[in-house]
Structure 1
Amino acid sequence: MYKFSVWVDADSFPAKARSFLVSYASSKSVRVYFVANHEIKDPLQQAEMILCQKEANAADNYIFEHAGENDIVVTRDIPFAARLVEKKIEVMNDRGLVFSKDNIEDKLREREFSLNLAGIGFGGDKGNYYGQKELDKFSRTFEQKLQEHIMNETYNIKRR
């Protein structure tokens, strides 16, 4: 079992991605924690479910407090991702986008712009669709990041 873990902000994490993530991480002996403020349907045996209070940002705050610098966090929440990037934690979303200090400000601006458009009646729910294309990109990126973390821990390489 490796020292690092994978943390999932599970409140809106797609079931298709959940199955892949747990299967792949378990095959590599990596701990996975799903954190949410409600029970996840079809919990997976190889992952630990952590239930938080039903209040705003409870799952985010739990992950933020418990995730370490060598861990991986998966979340759709861009402001939360920004907090994690600031803490130097590897963070990605369920579509394979890795958030970094180089792109997080742009992602926060895009989010704000989209919220403003939605507020005046423009925009839709196109971001909620999760199909095979999204799963494939997430799978490739997650495999790559998990392998990087395994190599870093195995050979005692410090993340930049």
Structure 2
Amino acid sequence: MTTEPQILIDADACPVKDEIYRVAYRVNVPVIVVSNMHLRIPIHPLISRVVVDSGFDAADDWIAEHAHPKTVVVTADILLADRCLKAGAVVIGPTGKAFTSSSIGSAIAVRAIMADLRAGGEQTGGPAPFRKEDRSRFLSALDLALTSLLRAR
């Protein structure tokens, strides 16, 4: 396992892959795109792809197993975020929201409440549409996280 800075993307539904690639090129940090299906990625030495089998949580399991304190994980999956935080990784959602050990508990609780409401037939509406402000907030959060990791080299 590498202990150099890296970015792991929970990629199947990630709307900010292109932004991640641009930041990675600028700061010279490798990116691993993890998905359950073959996704197109740029041909570049910093970008690699891992396609896991289609088993339940296979991509999440791969990411959690490879996360470490020099990793930035990009995911909207709250349970994966929790696992990666426990491994010492920095975790950022595609909207720029940083998951932290102090905020993850309430995020998991809200997720459980929403799942219970949906199971009871409640219409919860789903996530808000991805906006330009989300993209900007994400880029700021990613830059801050990588700057911090690279300074700690």
Task: Assess same fold via TM > 0.5.
Answer: yes
CA RMSD of aligned residues (A): 1.5
Using structure 1 for the length normalisation, give the TM-score: 0.86
Paired position in structure 1 for 2:17: 18
Tell me the CA shift for residue 143 of structure 1. 0.9
Paired position in structure 1 for 2:41: 43
How many residue pairs are counted as aligned between the two chains?
148
Tell me the CA shift for residue 53 of structure 1. 0.5
Paired position in structure 2 for 1:105: 105
CA distance in 2, matches of 1:11, 1:96: 18
- After the TM superposition, which residues 109-148 of structure 1 pair with which residues of structure 2 at under 5 Å, given as runs? 109-119=109-119, 120-125=121-126, 127=127, 129-148=129-148
Kindly provide the amino acid, as one letter, of the partner of residue 54 in structure 2.
K
Any conservation in 1 of the 2:69–2:87 contact (CA below 8 Å)?
Answer: yes
User: Which runs of no fewer than 5 residues in structure 2 stay unpaired?
Assistant: none
Tell me the CA shift for residue 30 of structure 1. 0.2
Q: 1:17-59: CA deviations, max 9, x gaps? A: 111111111111100000011012x422231111000111111
Tell me the CA shift for residue 80 of structure 1. 1.1
Paired position in structure 2 for 1:74: 74
CA distance in 2, matches of 1:57, 1:65: 12
- Structure in which a larger fraction of residues adopt helix: 1
Q: 1:80-113: CA deviations, max 9, x gaps? A: 1111112221111111111111111000011112
Any conservation in 2 of the 1:118–1:124 contact (CA below 8 Å)?
Answer: no
